Amino acid sequence: MSDLLAALLPPDLSGAVVLALMATSFASSFITISFGIGGGGLMLAVMASLLPPVALVPVHGVVQFGSNAGRVSMMAAHIHWPAVARFGAGIVLGILIGASVVINLPAAAVQIGVGLFLIWTVLAKPPAWMRDWPVFTGTLTSILSMFFGASGPFVNTYVKSLELGRHAHVATTAALLSGQHLLKSVAFGALGFVYWPWAGMIAALILCGLAGTWTGKRVLNRMTDTRFKQALNAVLLLLSARLVWQGLASYW
């Protein structure tokens, strides 16, 4: 066991840190498939406290790609493919733009703006342009993903505007986030990030995420669509409030 853990250790990380991240990966995937959202933000928050800043968004991106790809493989029959095709074009455009300009944007302002916008969409209704202009929505959310990692709340708001059932909501969101995180990870590799020292840990986190997805799917199956939407709104509000708080705290 100690030899296996040692093989997973990236530079300057202890075995206890890797084990904590593995447990978080299981929990975050369980939360995401059960309630539609929340796991990516949880994973990012824990990683932010344990990983060096330069590795945070790239490593998080690969792990989230694996986690969402696992959800896609388990729920492919429920994916709303027309939304994936239209939104996907925006993902490509957003990653290309984000790779070149996003580093110049103020993180705190983005967090506050996105948080307030998401609170509004929960308390009121997602604006029509999110549903009617999927290429623009895909572009915008992909730029946000390049900037601070977790764009799940924004993507979930887009899928929420489609008014799908709970299984289709989770499956479609997973498909969109899989494409987004995959292209983002490739972009960071092209920009010079070296993934190889992190490969063992990334593989372990993805496997733990798959276990969490498999377990959480049983919770989703027992929910009603009404309960699912209520849980989704509650988690969206919590994550949005956290974004606003983080942004305001940066100015204090």
What gap in Å lies between CA 131 and CA 126, rounded to an integer? Answer: 8
Quote the percentage of the chain above a pLDDT of 90: 21
pLDDT tens, 184-229? 899 889 888 899 999 989 999 999 999 999 998 888 888 888 888 8
- Counting Cα atoms < 13 Å in the Cβ hemisphere of 223 gives 21
| Residues near 3 by beta carbon (within 8 Å), at least 6 away in sequence | none
Backbone angles phi, psi at 106, to 5 degrees: -75, 120
3-state secondary structure string, the chain?
Answer: CHHHHHHHCCCCCCHHHHHHHHHHHHHHHHHHHHHCCCHHHHHHHHHHHHCCHHHHHHHHHHHHHHHHHHHHHHHHHHCCHHHHHHHHHHHHHHHHHHHHHHHHCCHHHHHHHHHHHHHHHHHCCCCHHHHHCHHHHHHHHHHHHHHHCCCHHHHHHHHHHCCCCHHHHHHHHHHHHHHHHHHHHHHHHHCCCCCHHHHHHHHHHHHHHHHHHHHHHHHHHHCCHHHHHHHHHHHHHHHHHHHHHHHHHHHC
pLDDT tens, 63-84? 999 999 999 999 999 999 998 8
Query: What is the pLDDT confidence band of residue 95, given thresholds at 50, 70 and 90?
Result: confident
Domain edges within the chain: 2-251
pLDDT above 90 (res 171): yes
- Residue 169's pLDDT is 92
- Residue 65's pLDDT is 93
What gap in Å lies between CA 89 and CA 74, rounded to an integer? Answer: 24
Query: What is the pLDDT confidence band of residue 149, given thresholds at 50, 70 and 90?
Result: low
pLDDT tens, 100-141? 765 555 667 767 776 787 787 677 777 788 888 888 888 888
Interior angle at CA 145, CA 144 and CA 151, nearest 5: 90
- Residue 103's pLDDT is 52
pLDDT tens, 231-251? 878 877 887 788 788 888 877
Query: What is the pLDDT confidence band of residue 3, given thresholds at 50, 70 and 90?
Result: low
Both tokens of 139, joined, read 């572009």
What gap in Å lies between CA 16 and CA 19, rounded to an integer? Answer: 5
- Residue 2's pLDDT is 56
